[in-house]
Structure 1
């Protein structure tokens, strides 16, 4: 048994199903064999870039400490400090040969300031060059710098006291020791440019102090290049597309093998269908023939409906299993009768014209 579907609807469903099958077949194929690419940055030349300043505090002879020096990260009494021994290092190590050049210098900056934390206002400052600018150049992709500097805190404290006395400004003061490195490199994967300044800060003209600063810097880096990396196949997406594809394939099989075009209704069947749909509540089916003579013929069913409403009588017709035998509708009122006949309707245009004719038309 095949389901009956109108020809246009059936063809439309088949066309939509075929197009959907093509789309999802393409999606399954494309997802399986062309999952796409993702841009990724990968290091093409990696290098380590490190700078540090380590220090030891050497002490004057005193009755407090038995040792002659103190390590990092302590609180130091200024009166007991003889000098500060600093060890400044910088290392650059590339993963392979590269032409490296640059320079560095070491500076002690003394400044007077007001405020605390991020709200510091510099009042004055003076640079004391410790080591003048020195160049370096090599082609093996490596740089190693190691310098030792001794800081005499008493000398810097005397300088600060002289400035305060001369300027009549009593402010906080500090000494910042820094190694300033400027490096440029040329590799087989591009150029490198690095600036690094490890430093320590020492409060001046105070009875005791702590040393702070950015004295350890470890900044590995790399020259990166962008590559297109294939994405992994998304199996769950393929399964989803495949399920939808299977549904449309099954739908196409059903449409082709289990449906058929419903036969085209002739003019009489279409006309009867419209009449029963629109005026079914007024119609009365009879089992026997209707014996009405000299009935007045009306032009449209709407005219017959109008008469039925005016005289309050139902519309009669003889029922038959064969719709072709149902071709007349009557309204009877005592000694007169009215009839509408479908015998002369031969096409759909005439049916639609009959249905749309105004109920004000003249009774034939």
Structure 2
């Protein structure tokens, strides 16, 4: 994509944000402005903000471990496809249904399953009723402001141009879709790396966990399940999902580290907790303790760890990198009394080792190692 086309795309996206803020500011389409909680004003959403564009202009440097794999690690690429076939062919009926629902639902709605049986239902009801306009503005739908203008994976997919599993091996992939669905027809012509669903699941999941740190491990585990669902459908490879995760973590950390944008995130969190509290009528921690949990904390940590590397072996055992310092912002609400240096230490202590596929040396590495579920479950 040329620089001119990239600039044009940014202008188009920001123009869309201006149009959509009319809905957000009034509390959602069809909501009574005098009754619904206030949304952001257009100027707050448009910005621009320092975190709108990554330092290098794109997320390609963070994702480019994929180029090395294609050039020098063909067995990893072969295993990448073999794992899709295995996961797709062995998917249970429940996994198939969940994957289909995830494909068509907003990632924020899919993530809300992690909030528990009753709290998740309350969250979805409030969101649908326009009672969470600030959350919706930042993290709802494909035009969520926290992901715009460059947090999508459109540019990266075009550049890496990696054909999807069901295109490469059509006879080996089972297709799962809803009656009259268009899943495979829509995806056949674009690249697979990185996974956009996973990218959105992780940056939206990181924000939702930031707002509700009591359920952080469960929310991040659910983000991992959303990534796995793309493999279940045969539309993405494990490496696509892993790439989507590291990109999503980078995006979320950038937003939380940007003081201007972080102020919006904090306002949305206050509104979310206030509306949930009003809806359930008791302190949130008390309601969560009584609710039927999606997963226990330990189950969430164990599941997410298993979904981080998909059984790949370490391919660069001598590789050296560190957890990016900016990632410390991801834990600010979970450990408000700690310094960034102390939060970064928690991320280091709970991280996986370096050297797995896609993990790079130097300043572009380390994102793949972050286990945010384990970090949320850690002791100070």
- TM-score bracket relative to the smaller structure: under 0.3
The alignment's TM-score, normalised by the length of structure 1, stands at 0.19
The alignment's TM-score, normalised by the length of structure 2, stands at 0.18
Between structure 1 and structure 2, the one with the greater Rg is 1
Q: Which has the higher strand share?
A: 1
